[in-house]
């Protein structure tokens, strides 16, 4: 008897497009990544989820949930690949919008090359020390995924990524990508050039890493999800960017 073939991977894109006859595509995508980011936040972003859920009916929420499950399945078949960033450019953002906002999707091959050049010989990095990485214009986090991919798991767990973007939707995409691939990341909604920062979220891998995963949602840091970074944190970001240490 021949071995059974695994079930085919679905397509989250087709599911989202089922909503496009009733809603603007940008609104659909923004809601989808907001729901998905909240879903992987270990109940630390419940208020955001509930606020967004008020805007959709039950059948639409079910489609969003199915699309999220399908996306996770697709991601498992393509490790450390930014699937949602490319679809954002194709589905949610017009070509004119790309030109006006200066938003472009960097191909994975380019991200992988830059990550290898930036990180160098990861085995030569100091053992048992935190490795700080700053991505001042993170987009959906494609560069961060490539950095994590070149690191063995023991090194990846020591990463502490600060991911900044002026686009709130990009922040949700980066939060989702880094959480699902186990990359400790602090995502900040802000303008790196002007030094203005409006909100910040830490994923479950970044929150209180000394605690077991089950206890991290109760850590004090988890209680301030979505709040602006403190002046001390802003100063640290500015210093990191000035030093250019692992700044992507």
Domain of 123, in residue numbers: 108-243
Residue 192 lies in a domain: yes
Please name the helix (run of DSSP H) or strand (run of DSSP E) that holds residue 85, with its range, or none. helix 83-87
Predicted confidence at residue 7, as pLDDT, reads 40
Residue 5 lies in a domain: no
Domain assignment present for 248: no
- 159-165 and 196-202 beta bridge pairing: unpaired
Q: In the predicted model, what is the mean pLDDT of residues 163-175?
A: 97
Number of domains in the chain: 2
Q: 127 and 218 share a domain? A: yes
11-50: pLDDT as tens digits: 999 999 999 999 999 999 999 999 999 999 999 999 999 9
In degrees and rounded to multiples of 5, residue 12 shows phi and psi of: -65, -25
CA-derived radius of gyration, the chain:
18
Q: Please report the pLDDT score of residue 73 as a whole number.
A: 95
Do 61 and 179 lie in one domain? The reply is: no
Q: Which of 68-82, 113-127, 134-148, 205-219 has the lowest mean pLDDT?
A: 113-127
How do strand 185-191 and strand 196-202 relate by DSSP bridges?
A: antiparallel
Closest CA to 240 of 159, 134, 163, 120: 134
Please tell me whether residues 113 and 200 are part of one structural domain.
Answer: yes
Is 60 exceeded by the pLDDT of residue 178?
Answer: yes
Structure tokens at 194: 């002007």
Give the SS3 label for residue 71: helix
């Amino acid at each position: 008897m021949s071995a059974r073939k695994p079930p085919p991977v679905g397509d989250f894109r087709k599911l989202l497009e089922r909503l496009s006859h009733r809603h603007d595509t940008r609104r659909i995508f923004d809601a989808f990544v907001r729901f998905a980011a909240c879903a992987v936040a270990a109940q630390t972003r419940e208020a955001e989820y509930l606020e967004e859920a008020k805007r959709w009916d039950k059948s639409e929420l079910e489609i969003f949930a199915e699309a999220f499950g399908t996306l996770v399945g697709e991601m498992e078949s393509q490790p450390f690949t930014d699937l949602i960033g490319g679809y954002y450019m194709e589905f949610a953002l017009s070509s004119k919008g790309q030109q006006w906002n200066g938003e472009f999707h960097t191909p994975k091959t380019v991200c992988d090359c830059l990550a290898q050049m930036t990180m160098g010989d990861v085995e030569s990095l100091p053992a048992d020390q935190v490795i700080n990485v700053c991505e001042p214009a993170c987009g959906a986090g494609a560069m961060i995924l490539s950095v994590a991919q070149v690191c063995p798991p023991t090194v990846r767990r020591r990463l502490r990524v600060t991911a900044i973007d002026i686009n709130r939707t990009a922040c949700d995409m980066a939060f989702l990508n880094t959480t699902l691939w186990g990359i400790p990341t602090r995502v900040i909604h802000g303008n790196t050039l002007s030094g203005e920062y409006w909100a910040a979220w830490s994923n479950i891998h970044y929150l209180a890493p000394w605690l077991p995963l089950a206890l991290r949602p109760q850590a004090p840091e988890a209680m301030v999800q979505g709040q602006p970074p403190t002046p001390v944190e802003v100063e640290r970001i500015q210093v990191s960017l000035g030093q250019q240490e692992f700044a992507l």
